[in-house]
């Protein structure tokens, strides 16, 4: 029960890695504010946690919009009193494409969803962590931000790279206040969105992607969630400004 008496706000938690993280954290005693844009999907995650005896709150909203972020954070603090853990998971990739096929609107949309949302939520949550001199922030970046993406476009790689730079910067700022700030960098993970992209690839292209993963397979959401929970726990009390590669070794390839 590593998260007994701890409260977590997890963005993009209605499915995939975020959902797996919310479920696992609740099973280890934590109270969870489950964020997502789809109210029905968020409610389903909350019900599942409560049915297992956990505590959860539906925090519906778009974290790329400042007004939604303010409401989500206020709602979480009103319900639970504090936010001990923030998991910045909300985001999403694009279809793989070349730079010539990318327009300004697509570039802006990807950065808004993946990077601006992370900035807005972090900025809103940090003051009460700093005041209490306690907190954990985990960014769900990507191997795309470490080198490039074979499943998404350059705008996604840029956004995730920006997230890692943002993580390192605020780790320095918040270190004196005992707030740990870290990231995970997943590779291809079989969430619904990636599974759909995977199905569109031919056998030869899939084989080529898998050859670049030393462990020879995509990840499951629960495997990424396990690394997130480690960084969110007291087991990582002396780790900050770090990125854990949860990508089967593909960062080396």
Active-site residue list: 156
Helix/strand/coil percentages in the chain, nearest 5: 55, 15, 30
Where would I find the H helices in 212-244?
A: 221-232
Residues sharing a CB contact under 8 Å with residue 120, sequence separation 6 or more, in sequence order = 63, 64, 65, 66, 69
Six token digits for residue 116: 């601006």
Residues sharing a CB contact under 8 Å with residue 61, sequence separation 6 or more, in sequence order = 35, 37, 68, 69, 71, 72
Q: How far apart are CA 199 and CA 214, in angstroms?
A: 21
Three-state SS for 135-204 is: EEEEEECCHHHCCCCCCCCHHHHHHHHHHHHHHHHHHHHHHHHCEEEEEEEECCECCHHHHHHHHHCCHH
Cβ distance 232 to 179 under 8 Å?
A: no
Six token digits for residue 23: 């479920």
Crossing angle for the helix pair 221-232 and 16-27, to the nearest 10 degrees: 50
């Amino acid at each position: 029960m590593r998260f007994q008496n701890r409260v977590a706000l997890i963005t993009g938690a209605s499915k995939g890695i975020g959902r797996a993280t919310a479920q696992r954290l609740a099973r280890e005693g934590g109270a969870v504010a489950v964020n997502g844009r789809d109210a029905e999907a968020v409610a389903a995650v909350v019900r599942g946690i409560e049915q297992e005896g956990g505590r959860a709150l539906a925090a519906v909203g778009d974290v790329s919009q400042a007004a939604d972020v303010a409401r989500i954070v206020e709602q979480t603090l009103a319900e639970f009193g504090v936010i001990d853990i923030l998991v910045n998971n909300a985001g999403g990739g694009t279809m793989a494409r070349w730079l010539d096929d990318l327009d300004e609107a697509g570039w802006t949309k990807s950065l808004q969803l993946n990077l601006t949302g992370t900035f807005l939520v972090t900025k809103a949550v940090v003051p009460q962590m700093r005041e209490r001199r306690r907190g954990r922030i985990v960014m769900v970046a990507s191997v795309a931000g470490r080198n490039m993406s074979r499943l998404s476009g350059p705008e996604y790689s840029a956004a995730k790279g920006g997230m890692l730079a943002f993580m390192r910067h605020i780790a320095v700022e918040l270190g004196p206040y005992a707030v740990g700030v870290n990231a995970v960098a997943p590779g291809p993970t079989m969430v619904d969105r990636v599974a759909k992209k995977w199905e569109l690839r031919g056998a030869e292209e899939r084989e080529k992607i898998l050859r670049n993963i030393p462990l020879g397979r995509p990840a499951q959401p629960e495997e990424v969630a396990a690394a997130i929970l480690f960084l969110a726990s007291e087991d990582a009390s002396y780790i900050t400004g770090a990125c854990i590669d949860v990508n089967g070794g593909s960062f080396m390839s």
